[in-house]
A and B are shown apart, each in its own frame.
Chain A
Amino acid sequence: MTSLPAHTEKKLGLVIDLDTCVGCHACATSCKEWNAGGYSAPLTDQDAHGADPHGAWLNRIHSYEVGEGEASRTVHFPRSCLHCETPACVTVCPTGASYKRAEDGIVLVNPDTCIGCKLCSWACPYGAREYDYDDGTMKKCTLCIDRIYNETFAPEDRIPACVRACPTGARHFGDLGDPTSAVSQLVQEREGFDLLPEMDYRPTNKYLPPRPRRDSQSPSTAPATEPALPRSTGSLADQFFAWADKTLAR
């Protein structure tokens, strides 16, 4: 059924901390690895060793330069399905392959009924759905339903592969529908926000803003000045090395 559930018991989702993300792509590669064998299998690549390699990935990491001049900063930005509460990707699906689960709010594609019409990917503002050219079906983040409910796993592994892989702890998983949950508290504390709120898809996933820059005047964060080079003694060899150093530094 591609009609949306009126309400979901839980709102499982991710909270992504743009302050601590270092843009290492560990979450993306870990996602690809898990899903190429899990629910989303096969998660194919095309022309993998050729001139135009590409494939379906469920998580992509952008890096942006934000702000101007001295105040500018680099922000790494992981982008995946936000498991929206009112997503058109579900309602446009003609087959019912795309659906939102009433129990936990996860948005899934049924790989056995998807006809690969691609309309859902047109309806997603976040570019979260990628078509699998070999399988002929649509792929998207499953929030690792095959991990989070897997009772054969140790409890600490019952989290999405991306969250497990993140070396800086920039990704958090939990129930955003429960105001007392750790993720909800984090969103509250750090003023987590929605992407493209004006589109009114009501994403479940939240992003945490980078923390304010520390004052660049303070000695602890002042840019280290290069130690002065010992003065040239004027010998021919010294002059040569000074010239070589200058030339190579260009």
Chain B
Amino acid sequence: MHPAYSVIIFTTTSGAGYGLLIGLALALRLGIVPPDPLLGFFGLGAALALVTTGLLTSTAHLGRPERAWRALSQWRSSWLSREGVAAIVTYVPAAVLGLGWVFGEVMPGQLAVGASLSVLCALVTLWCTGMIYASLPTIRAWDQPLVAPIYIALALATGSVLLTLLLAAFGYPLRAAAMASVAALALGWILKARYWMAIDAAPRTHTAEAATGLGRFGTVRPLDPPHTQSNYVMREMGYQVARRHATKLRRIAAVLLFAVPMLAALLLLLDGSAPIQIAIAAVSTLSAAAGVLTERWLFFAEAEHVVVVYYRGGSA
């Protein structure tokens, strides 16, 4: 599948934004961070800015962005529509939490309720995004049970790396956040490694013979193409990264997204001076960002659509 930059930016930034929102809400709820208004302002501000940037970037992928509001109507059948609805709903508890955190509670329990609902809504939104891909039976690498859980795990991992940086910058204790990020990164790494094994082993069940119904006469090989220049279907669905490059990119993604941030988090657990801690957390954030972009690019570039069998024969 063609890796569209708008979709890569959207899924990575909004994922990290929801991860940070979840991290902040949980940290406040569990009393790990103090209800410092400045931390609330910058922390939740960053989370919502990431989410909003992602959502706006995703509209760049649309042919008719001015009609984007229509995507909220078909939540009964469409995961994309559900995602849109969930994303908008999530702003409500996030606002309740944010206003209470920055300006003080108007109602007792505002922070607790806002935080709990923010976590819930953010998780639902992440699940819907993951399911957009996981519900497509036409793409072997996406039609996998691990796709949606990995999307959530990577959002939590990148979000917790950001949270650690934020706490380092504010000079608050970051042991809990660093430990949480180690756990989320480890979970993400394990799931992603299993995913890569699963897609390598997944059988190619759809053949050119079944796609044309001509298998009864023997193998089916393309002779004359239907058009001389690539059409939309080939441009969008025919994109595939070479196997050799994919292996290399998987390694790069694993190092940048998982290994470096995990090492950084472990270093942060050993006490250090504030500037050093900030520097380590910043390097970790940059590495995770580069890693998750690579991972997402590969998620598209490695995915093969059934329709390719009409163009090149064989199986998919």
Chain A residues proximal to chain B, CB less than 8 Å:
1-3, 18, 23, 28, 52-57, 60-68, 71-75, 77, 79, 88, 90-97, 113-119, 121-127, 130-133, 135-138, 193-199, 207, 209-210
A2: chain B residues within 8 A (beta carbon): 74, 76-78
B220: chain A residues within 8 A (beta carbon): 64-66
Kindly report which residue of chain B lies nearest to residue A116, judged by CB atoms: B63
The answer on a CB contact under 8 Å between B212 and A75 is: yes
CA distance A224 to B9 in the complex (A): 63
A90: chain B residues within 8 A (beta carbon): 77
The answer on a CB contact under 8 Å between B218 and A95 is: no
Chain B residues proximal to chain A, CB less than 8 Å:
1, 61-65, 67-68, 70-74, 76-81, 84, 132, 135-139, 205-206, 208, 210-214, 216-227, 229-233, 235-237, 305-307, 310-311, 313
| 10 examples of A-B residue contacts, CB within 8 angstroms | A65-B222, A79-B310, A88-B135, A92-B77, A115-B68, A122-B139, A125-B137, A137-B63, A196-B306, A198-B210
A125: chain B residues within 8 A (beta carbon): 137-138, 206, 211, 306-307
The answer on a CB contact under 8 Å between A131 and B236 is: yes
CA distance A67 to B220 in the complex (A): 7
The answer on a CB contact under 8 Å between A130 and B233 is: yes
Kindly report which residue of chain A lies nearest to residue B73, judged by CB atoms: A96
User: Quick one: given A60-B226, A115-B70, A198-B206, are A127 and B233 in contact (CB under 8 Å)?
Assistant: yes
The answer on a CB contact under 8 Å between A53 and B229 is: yes
Taking A57-B231, A125-B138 as known contacts, 9 extra A-B pairs with beta carbons closer than 8 A to each other, sorted by chain A number, are A60-B226, A64-B208, A73-B217, A79-B226, A130-B232, A131-B63, A131-B236, A138-B63, A195-B211
The answer on a CB contact under 8 Å between A94 and B226 is: no
The answer on a CB contact under 8 Å between A54 and B231 is: yes
CA distance A93 to B65 in the complex (A): 15
The answer on a CB contact under 8 Å between B226 and A115 is: no
User: Quick one: given A73-B217, A125-B307, are A91 and B78 in contact (CB under 8 Å)?
Assistant: yes
B218: chain A residues within 8 A (beta carbon): 66-68, 71-72
User: Quick one: given A136-B62, A210-B217, are A95 and B205 in contact (CB under 8 Å)?
Assistant: no
The answer on a CB contact under 8 Å between B61 and A117 is: yes
Instruction: For residue A147, give the distance in angstroms from its CB to the closest CB of chain B.
Output: 23
Instruction: For residue A28, give the distance in angstroms from its CB to the closest CB of chain B.
Output: 8
User: Quick one: given A94-B84, A122-B1, are A114 and B64 in contact (CB under 8 Å)?
Assistant: yes
The answer on a CB contact under 8 Å between B213 and A3 is: no
The answer on a CB contact under 8 Å between B219 and A68 is: yes
Query: Which 3 A-B residue pairs are closest in the complex by CB-CB distance?
Result: A116-B63, A136-B63, A67-B218
